[in-house]
Amino acid sequence: MGDKKGVELIRTEQSSGISVTIGNTKLKPQGHPISVRFEKQIAYVYLVIDTSGSMVGDKLEQAKKGVIDFAKDAFRKEYMVGLISFNTTARHVCEPTYDIKLLQGRIREMQATGSTNMAEAIKMAHDHLKRLDNTRVIVIATDGLPDNAQDALREGTKAKEDKIDIITIGTDDANQGFLKRLATRAELGKKVRREVFYQAISSASNLLPPPRSITKR
């Protein structure tokens, strides 16, 4: 048989005490209390959404719907979800939260206008995440090239140097080579048809790494 997993509590007939089994380690109280404490690392993800003028209409509505479905799945994976939008400037829409109603309310405020200052948005997400010593991810959804691709790549590199993962999703005028360079790994950078933009954002939750966790006793 393989290693035992999880926690097993056993009350024996010979004693009123309880033994605790964690994996292959058994703890016996022998008349003394034991304290077993489990700590779970919280993971954080920022969705960074393009709200430039070219996103007006169906693409922005798809993005909004994709964000909600992404968040619901991310919550199940123990991620708190934050939101940043960007057009001519970046806007911090919502701090990382588990509150889907709060997120839905903030998403309704997003409107499409202006240009595509992706670099500022990546920097903003990085600044919020870098102080956290946890699993951290930035998911970027855009329909085109940023105002300055080199600045965006530079800010992306800074985030990745701080061990923040980046996932990119693009459509329409997005450059697939740019998306792959900006992402942590080439397979995390994807260009899709505009008809499936919503599904691509929603299913990006499947690419989230498992949160790191620790067990203390």
pLDDT digits (tens, 9 = 90+) for 38-76: 455 689 999 999 999 999 999 999 999 999 999 999 999
For residue 122, how many C-alpha atoms fall within 13 Å in the half-sphere facing its CB?
Answer: 30
pTM: 0.80
- The residue-averaged pLDDT of 27-38 equals 54
Nearest to 83, CA basis, from 62, 104, 60: 104
- pLDDT confidence of residue 149: 98
Residue 183 pLDDT exceeds 60: yes
How crowded is residue 53: how many other Cβ atoms within 10 Å of its Cβ?
13
- Report the alpha-carbon angle 70-74-77, nearest 5: 155
Nearest to 119, CA basis, from 145, 151, 91, 82: 151
Task: Please report the sign of the dihedral spanned by the C-alpha atoms of residue 60, residue 189, residue 145, residue 138.
Answer: positive
Binned at pLDDT 50, 70 and 90, residue 133 comes out as confident
